Each structure stands twice: as C-alpha cells, then as structure tokens.
Structure 1
Amino acid sequence: MQRRILFRRLFLLPALKSKTPTPIRLLIRNARLASQARPQLPFLSTPLAGNHQFRYLTTERKRWLVREVYLGLKFTAYAWAILGFTVIGYWSVQQEWLERKYPTPHEWGFVTRLRFRIAKWGPDRTDWVETDWVVIGEYAQNVIERLEDKNIEGAGLEDLTEGGIWIDGVGNAGYDITAKSEPWRRGYYEALMLGAQAAEQLDDQVVDKTRHLVFPASTVVGPSNPNPKPIPFGAEKAPLEENCERAYAEPETFYMRILTTKGFSSRQKMDAALAYASWLDFKNLPEAAMRMYDWALSLASEGIPATDVPYDRRSYILQDGARAPSTNILNALTALAAHKARNEDISVALPILVSILRARRSLPEPSAKASGQPFYQAEEPSESPWTAGNVINTVKRLVAPPTYPPAPPSGESPPVRDAKERCEEAALNLYIGEIIYASKGREDGLAWTREAVDLAEEQLHKLNPFDTDAKQTCKECLTSGLENWAKMAARLAREEREKEAQSTPTTSTWFGLWGGDGKREATAGRWAAEEAVVKERTRRAQEILEDLEAPNTPLSSVFAA
C-alpha cells in the first residue's frame, strides 16, 4: 500500500510543476477578470489601502434618515399644534373675560363685538405703558361705521329726513334708531361716547399721511408752528406741515350725533350734553358751555309741566315746597353750578349747591325691600366653595353665555337716600367747601371738607361689597376730600407758624444752640394739630381703600366679571 502511494506522488509531481499558477481575482474597479460577463459596480468593489472609498448611503442609513425626517416633521407638527391650541385657548379665555367685564349686545356680529370689547378695554389696560388712544379711537370709529352701515349691523336705520341732515362743522346728523332693540341702542350710544372720549384725547394730534404716524401738533415743522417742540430721542423724524392732517374727528361730531339721534333716552342725551359742555369749558368757551348746560337741563326736565319744574328758571335754585327733583335734574344742576364756580360766579353757584344739598338730605329713605341684598346673595354664604350650588352656578357661568345687563334707571324719578346718594352728598360738601375756602372763608371751608370726609368714610364702612357704583363714588369722594383737607390744613398751619414767628421775640445765642426757637417748637398751634390729624386720617383711609375688594373663593373667582 505504501509503495502504491509513493508511485502515485512521483507520477503526479512533474504534472503539477509544469502548470502555471492561476492569478487571484480581486474585487476592485481596475481588476482584469477572466470573463467580462459580470459588470464592475463601484459599491461592490473592495477598498484598497491607498484608495479610501466607503458606502455612505447604505440601505440601513436610508431607513434611518427617512425615519428621522418623519419624526422631525411629526414632532414639529405636534409642537405647532400645541402652540396654536394654547394661543387659541388663551385668546378664547381672554375674550370670555372681556365679554363679562365689558358686555356687548348679542345681536351684533362677531367682528363688531370683538372690536368693541377691545376698544372698551383700552383705557383700563395695565399692559400698556400709557393708554394708546390712537388704537382705541380706530376701533371705536370702526365699530360706529359698522353699526351705521345698513349692509352690516345697521339694517333698519332710517335717516331723520330724506337724504339726511348736514350740520356745518359737524357732519351728518343722527339717525332714527327707534326700530332697534334697547341693547343695540345702548351699545351704539356707548360706542359714540367712547369715540368722543378718544377724540378729546387726540384733539392736539396730527397724522403724517406719508408715513401714517401720529404726532403732537406742537412738533410739526411748518409756517404755522415756527418753534416746534423737539422730538424725543429715538422717535421718528418730525413731520412736515404739508404732509399732516387732523388725526381724528372732532369731539362735537360724536356728541352732536347723540343729541340729534332719535331713539336715545333723555338721560343718555343729557349725559352727552354735560360731557360736551365740560369739553367746551376745557376749551375756554364758557358761553357755548352755558348753552349746552341749559340744553342738558331742558333734557332733564322733559315730561315735566312748566308749572311743576322744581327749580327757578333764572337762578336755577331748587324751590322749597316744590316736587322732589329727579336724578337727572339734580345731576344737571350740580354740573351747572360747578361751571358757574369755575368761571368765578360764586354768588350764583353757592346758592344752587346749597339748595341741591338740602334737597338730597330731604330725599326719602330706601325701603326695606329695596335695601335688601341682591338676588345672588339671598342664600347664606357657605364657608366651602365645593358645595353643590356653587359648583352648579360655576358650571352655568362657564357654559352659558353671559347675559347682557338690564337697562339702567332712566333718572326721571326722584332718587332715594341710599349709600350712593349719601356719597353724592359728601361730594356736594366738597364743592361747597372749596367755594367757601376760595372766598376767604377758610375755617368754614375746611369744616365743610372735614364733614365730607367723615360722611364718605362712614359710608365705605357700611357699603355692600357688591354695590360697585356707590363704592366707586365714595372712594373718589374720600380721596378728593383728603387731598383738599390736607392742602387746606397745610396752608393754614404754614400761615400760623409764620404769624407766630413774627409775633414771638427771639433771643440771640452763640451759634444758635439754644434760645427762643426751642420754646416756639414746643407749642404746636391749632392748625398744626389739624395737619397731624389729616395725616393720620389719610393713613387710616388707605387701609380702607385697599380692602374694598372682597376676596374671591377659588371656584367662584373663575371668569369673575
């Protein structure tokens, strides 16, 4: 067997040595293959040491990139959706809060109600450094235009005469809105009054037509203003006179629109006339203001026979034994007396105010039914907000739209001597105190002012926390009374110290270290003590004014109006 194997190896050895070696096939781009049937593809080649080639886009990497792009788009869409829903939710909650704070008529369109809410919110906004009356005026003007457009909100409006009435310097007169509902008419009135308020604030503003920017008229460069005021640092360049026009309509445009519109109540027209008269007083036009006050008084006396008018038509003094004056007459006479006092006609203003104060003090007391708590306080308050009634009421407030408030009193009947009227009495005391103090009756004027402060502070302690009108009236009266009282007492104390310094002899000492000065400082006068009392009352009143708002429970404070 071994011999056979040895002979086989010897026989095959020469054959193996005679054959040439077969070259190795390398999977490279430039390799020479024995057969050209198979194509040479770059991604199938084997990289060499000197030629660095790699496959960057593999199948797995493609799938990974597609998934990453998909996830990126997916999470980006989620983020934008969350942000969008958050903004929409915040905006919806804000509009709900504004609707409850500044209600709008439900029959108006969505855009009109939205712009009206923003316009009414403008003067009360706390996120503005200062009130932007340009924005408020634009929104108010837009709301008025939509309400007067018969194709939008003004369906049913009628001109007073065919073709309307044009008033020189004012424009078109009002409309006949008697076909509209009371909420629509009230909302239209509020929009006009807000437009008039914006017009008063923008009376000295001009707009640059080339840049659509609003500037004070005192900064305009032109022949009519040879000494323009400088523009604040960082502001736009001062406008040229030829490029400027009035930024907003004149206030009388809105006031006369109210006074000439058929469908407004006598009280609404009277309030507009009083506001217009106050504006004329501010513009130093006393004669025109007096005519407007007379117009307001005639509006307040509508429906009263000439023989039953409770005031004298010449002196405007309320007569004793006459019928009880209405709320409108009392307000109109008070404003007229203030106008007389501002124009230094004290002999006429003081008797009018005294007669009004006497009439207010003789008003009937409110009945027990009228002085009771409102309907939302009929039940005993619960210590826990998580009662069934509180939960149901809160759900109703969140789900149901807020109801439009009822119409305010017409003011054609005499008022009752409730908390608000007592605060009006305190305001009258302030007026009388100022007039008497200015007419050299300083002690009497200070006494009237002190009485007004006492009455206003007393009413603030007794007020119902839900009686917002009376609370606001008493708050303003108390604040103004304390300021007047402090100024009066400070002036009298200063005069008292000067008089004492002139009458008391002083002894000269070395370096002024001792002497008669210490003796004078030790004896405080009457008005110095009064000044200290005013400071203490002011400190105490601040605590009252800060605690006026009743704390809300966690549940009832949601969307609280």
Structure 2
Amino acid sequence: MRLSAHRIHLPRGASQPSCARTPDRTCPRQFSYRYPRQFLVAHQGSPRPQLPFLYPSGQHLSSGQLLRLFSISSNHKKFIKETAKLSVRYSILIFLITSCFSIASLGILSEQQERAFPSPHEWSLITRFRFRRGKWWQVPENNEDEGFPNWARVYSELQYALNRLEDPNKDGVGILEQEEGGVLVPGVGKAGFDVTAKSDEWRQGYYDVLMGMATAAERLEGWVTDKRRRNVWAPEFVPSPENKRPKAVLPGMPEVPDGEHREPAADAPEVFYMRIITSNGFTTYQRLSAALGYADWLSFKKSPDSAEEMYRWALDIAISGLPTSDPSIAIDHKTAILSFTAPKDAITPNIVYATTNLATFLAAQGRLTSALPILISLLRARLNAEEAPVTRQTLDLKDSSITGTLLSLLAEPDYPPVPSSGDEPLLRKQSDRCEEAALKTYIGEILFATAGSSPTQRQQGLSWVRDGVSTSKLAQSLDPMRADEALRKKCEQCEEVGLESWGKIMTYLAAEAKQKRDEAKSGGLTSLLWKVRGTEGLDKEVEDFEGEEEGVTLRLNKLRSRMLREEYADMDRKYARTFVF
C-alpha cells in the first residue's frame, strides 16, 4: 500500500543556500559571484572566454599561485638531472679529447723542431723548447702574419733560454765567473763565464744561443718596448732627436709609451759578441766567428777604424791557436800576408778565414795595394795545401719496417758533431773550390782596376777573372757540390759574380777600342799615323771585344734565368708546406 506524501512547507528563509555570502563571511569560490551563464561571456575586446582560473580576481598573485607556477613535476626533475649529467659528461669528454689532441700536436711539432734544430741532450726540457722555438721563428716561411722573421719573438725566446743556461741553479750548474766577470764594461756588459767544466755539446748550444741573440739584436737596433715587453715599436714610430716627426702607429696597435715607460727592445749586439770572445772554454773558431761578426757589424755602422781594429783582433785570436810558438814563420802580423815558406802545418783554416775577411774589408775601403798581396798569399796557401782524403759517403741503411720506423720516431735524434776548433792544418777540399774561384775573381778585378794604361796588367786581370769563372763552373760538377744544395748555389753565385766582372771589363775594353777607332777615322795627326798603318786592326779589335762581351752577356743571362727558376721552385716548395725547418 502506497503511503501518501504530504508537502512540507519550509520557512521562507530556510530555502537559501548554506554557502550564501554574508557581510561577515567570505566564500572561497569566486565564481559564485556570477551567474553560471556568464562564465563563457568574454570581456569586450578579449579573444578568450572569461574563466575564473585564468583571470584571478586580485591584482597580485598569491603565494600559492606563485609556488604553483614554479613547481616542477617529478618527470621534469628527472629529465633535468639526466640532461645535466649528460652535459657534464660530454663536456669533460670533449675537453679531454681536445686537450689530448693539442698535447699530441705540440709534441709532434716539438719533435720536428728537435730534428731540424737539435739541442744538447743535457739541457732541461723547457730550455730546449725555448731554444727550438727561437730557431724556428728565424725561418721566414714560419711567420705567416709577417712573412719575415719576427726578430723580437726570436730574441725573447733565446733570452729565456740564455737566462736558464746562465743560472747555476738550473742549466748552468758548473759555470763560474772569471775574475773580471763581475766588472761591467760600459756598452758591453759583463765579461764571459768560465764554461770549461761543461761538455762540448753544452758549449756549442750556448754559443748558438749567444750568436742568435746577437743576430736578433742587430735587427732590433732602435726598436723599443714597454716594461711588460708585450709590444715592440719600430724606430720610425718612436719620437727621438733623429726622428722629430714620427709616423702614426698602425690601426689596432697601442700608442708608443713615453720615455719613462719604454726601454730598448734588445741589448746592443756587442754585448753578446764580447761575451763569446771573453768567455773561457770556447774554441778558437767560435771566438773568431764572434770577433768577425762584431767587425762586420761595425763596418755596417760606418765605423771603419773600429772595424779594422776588430778585424785585427780576430786575426790575433786566429794566431793564438797556431801550433807553433813563433807565428812569424806563418804570417806577417803587420801586413797579414801569409809566408811563402811557411810549413804546411802552420797554415790553419782560422788563419785563412781571418785574413780573407781582413783583405775583403781593405778592398772595400779602397786600399787595394794592401789587399792584393793578402789575397795572392791566400790563394797560394790554398793551392799548396795538401789534398784532403776523399771520404766516400756511406748510406745509412735504416730499418724500413713498421717496428723500425716506430723505434726511430720514439728514439731521440743524435746531436750533430761539434765543429772543429780550426787549429788543425789546412787541407785542400773539393768543397773549397768555390773559395779559390772567388779569390781569383777578386785578384783579377784589383789587377785590372789598378792597371791604368798598362796593357800587360790589364790582360793579367782579365785572365784571372776568366780563370775564376772556369774554376767556379768546374766546381759545380764535383760530387760534393752536387750533393750539397747550399754549396752548389754558392758556386753559382761565384760564377755569376765572375761573369758580371768579366762582362764589365769587356764593355770597358770595347768602348775604349771604339774611341780609338773613331779618333783614327776623324782626322788629325793620330789619324795620319793610323792611315799609314791601316785601321783594319782596330776594326777587328772592336769586333772581337764586342763579340766576347755578347757571349759573356748571354752566359750571364742564362745563368741568372736558371737561378731564378730554382729560387721560385724552392719558394713554391717552402710555402706549400705548413711549417718550414
């Protein structure tokens, strides 16, 4: 039986919702302020509907809403951690690979430099590295930016090596200061050290460092640098009493510092030359080379008196190494002429080297009467010297297998043999034929220049020049010359100088013969005499001189074209390589 339902009437105020807002209580649900149908009604000009969770009622976000914006889910956290781990892992891996590659490249380059410019094995690694870099920068092709040797960089590298070699706590263990070592000579510096306790290889490397720094100092004369030695400026950019209007520095280069903050980029060249000369332990040839280098520098600086004094000092150094106690039996100390009756063992390569440079200097100064006897005595000494024994070059049979190649790459290259002291008797070698050709050419030029109107002396000078050209041409066909590219090019230069002198002599003789012929045909008393004798001899003489001149010119042009082709080929081979040693 269905029960009857009775309608219950509630009070009027009871039908209101329980969550209705009152003036004292706020409702947490904001959308209850609006009619539900207004939820999808957008504001005027708004492209999206007005949803409550997109448009908060307040002007500022609450703390909960800010935390919700920066909250990261667990999956997102896991992705960030894995990405960070992979980034760190691959960054370390790339860093290790690039570091290993850089170290390997530096090692390969250093090994190539060591084989090209050997350094003493007893030096420390840093000193050898600096020495090799100083030698390497002297090659013009290795300076890609400049195209010529960066002498400031060379000087800096060798100076670092020199400081370590002269430091008793590093590579200079065993070197001693001489009694006058602490004395400072103005413009020269300290005297040399006593390096007799070091090995021959150490002394040879020390000598190479000092000579390299002297060469760099010659090129850096007048250059300045700042106290940090980061930049160098050429003399034309530096204001000085000789350069009152200096040039503006190049774009991107800092300005030249003032006088208080700049200093010379290098010491004077004589500092290093004199250190070699005054050191105890160097060979006679090493001290002689330093003295002649300093003399050449003084001659270049237009100081003939100082240069001659230095050439004489070099001759004294060479005489001090003679095996005899009486040097007068070998050479006249005043005139520097080698004695004709000197024993063969009393003539040394050092004596010949020193007197050759002195005679060349005297000839350049116009003192031909003093230079000619020295040159003749030098040629006589070379021709009378004993023949050097012919040494056959033995081919070094290297192991071409993979194991032998790897062992040869890993093994340290041997240091080259130290040059001789130069105090041994002079021997006539096939490689010295070019020196004989040069002496003959010089003698012929001096004889012809001082002949005046003497036809006999002129003919003698011309014969000497021709003989010099023939000797240089013959020397190029010898086996030692063909085996050594530098010696062969030197012989070509000797032949070029001889042909040029020969051509100038023939030009002078042809012009003089033309003048005589023209005077004979123009009239006058002289012409009457030639009419009686006939002018056919003059015409034939002019024709012979012009024909010989033309032949010499053709030979000279042919030689120069061949030398130019070889020079271009060498340049192409050099610049085709990344590094040149």
Task: Give yes or no for TM over 0.5.
Answer: yes
The residue that corresponds to 2:370 in the other structure is: 348
Q: Is the 8 A contact 1:449 1:481 kept in 2?
A: no
> How high is the TM-score relative to the length of structure 1?
0.75
- 1:87 and 2:105 aligned: no
Conservation of the 8 A alpha-carbon contact between 1:437 and 1:446: yes
Q: Does 1:194 align with 2:212?
A: yes
Q: CA–CA distance in 2 between the matches of 1:13 and 1:103?
A: 123
Query: Match for 1:459 among 467, 475, 488?
Result: 475
Task: Tell me which of 314, 329, 332 is aligned to 2:351.
Answer: 329
- 1:100 matched to 2:120? The reply is no
Match of 1:420 among 401, 417, 431: 431
Which residue is equivalent to 2:410?
399
> After superposition, where does 1:92-241 map in structure 2 within 5 Å?
92-128=107-143, 129-161=147-179, 164-209=182-227, 213-222=231-240, 224-225=241-242, 227-231=244-248, 233-234=250-251, 235-238=253-256, 240-241=258-259
Counterpart CA distance in 2 for 1:245 and 1:434 is 47
Distance in 2 of aligned mates of 1:232 and 1:483 = 41
- 2:141 counterpart SS class: coil
Q: Please say which of residues 181-190 and 238-247 is displaced more in the overlay.
A: 238-247
Q: CA deviation at 1:141?
A: 2.1
- Distance of aligned partners of 1:410 and 1:524 in 2 relative to their CA distance in 1, 3 Å threshold: closer
Report the CA distance shift for 1:450/1:227 in structure 2 as closer, same or farther (over 3 A): farther
Mark the runs of 5 or more structure 2 residues left unpaired by the alignment: 7-27, 32-48, 56-67, 452-456, 522-544
Q: 1:539 to 1:169 in 2, by over 3 A?
A: closer
Q: Post-superposition shift, 1:274? A: 1.1
Matched with 1:25 is: none
Q: Which residue of 2 is the match for residue 531 of structure 1?
A: 553
Deviation at residue 100 of structure 1 after TM alignment: 1.3
Deviations, residues 344-366 of structure 1 (Å, cap 9, x unaligned): 11111122112212221222223
The 1:537–1:271 alpha-carbon spacing in structure 2 relative to 1, beyond 3 Å, is same
Task: Give a deviation string over 1:233-273, Cα, whole Å, max 9, x none.
Answer: 43544554555443321122111111111111111111111
Q: What amino acid is aligned across from residue 489 of structure 1 in structure 2?
A: G
Q: Which of 62, 66, 78 is 2:81 aligned to?
A: 66
Q: 1:485 is aligned with what amino acid?
A: L
**Is the 2:434–2:494 Cα contact (8 Å) retained in structure 1?**
no
Aligned to 1:475: 489
Question: Which residue identity is paired with 2:310?
Answer: M
SS at match of 1:123: coil
- SS of residue matched to 1:150: coil
For 2:568 and 2:381, the matched residues in 1 are separated by 33
After TM superposition, the score normalised by the length of structure 2 is 0.72
Quick check: 1:430–1:481 contact (8 Å CA) kept in 2? Answer: no
**SS across alignment from 2:427:** coil
Q: How has the CA–CA distance of structure 1 residues 228 and 304 changed in structure 2, closer, same or farther, with 3 Å as cutoff?
A: farther
Distance 1:477 1:443, change over 3 A: farther
Matched, 1:313 2:298: no
> For the residues of structure 1 that align with 2:470 and 2:54, how far apart are their CA atoms?
98
Q: Tell me: CA distance 1:388–1:205, structure 2 relative to 1, closer, same or farther (3 Å).
A: closer
**Amino acid corresponding to residue 198 of structure 1 in structure 2:** A
Distance 1:205 1:480, change over 3 A: farther
Larger-gyration structure (1/2): 2
| Number of residue equivalences | 492
Which residue number in structure 1 is paired with residue 267 of structure 2?
Answer: 249
Rounded Cα–Cα distance in structure 1 between residues aligned with 2:443 and 2:268: 34
2:245 & 2:460 partners in 1: Cα distance?
Answer: 47
2:348 counterpart letter in structure 1: S
1:524 to partner: Cα distance: 7.2
Mapped contact 2:496–2:556 kept (Cα < 8 A): yes
8 A Cα contact 2:139 2:148, kept in partner: no
CA distance in 2, matches of 1:12, 1:180: 131
Q: Distance in 1 between matches of 2:172 and 2:399?
A: 44
Percent same amino acid among aligned pairs?
A: 31
Are the equivalent residues in 2 in contact too, given 1:456–1:474 (CA < 8 A)?
Answer: no
Q: Which residue of 1 aligns with 2:318?
A: 300
Cα shift at 1:496: 5.6
Aligned residue identity for 1:341 = A
Q: What is the alpha-carbon distance in structure 2 between the residues aligned to residue 90 and residue 304 of structure 1?
A: 55
Query: Is the alpha carbon distance of 1:242 and 1:73 closer, same or farther for their aligned partners in structure 2, counting shifts above 3 Å?
Result: closer
Q: CA deviation at 1:400?
A: 1.1
Query: What is the CA–CA distance in structure 2 between the aligned matches of 1:80 and 1:145, rounded to whole Å?
Result: 35
How far 1:218 moved relative to its partner?
4.5
Q: Which residue of 2 aligns with 1:358?
A: 380
Q: Which runs of 5+ in 1 are unaligned?
A: 1-6, 16-28, 33-47, 380-386, 506-522, 552-556
Determine the C-alpha separation between the residues in 1 that align with 2:197 and 2:416: 20
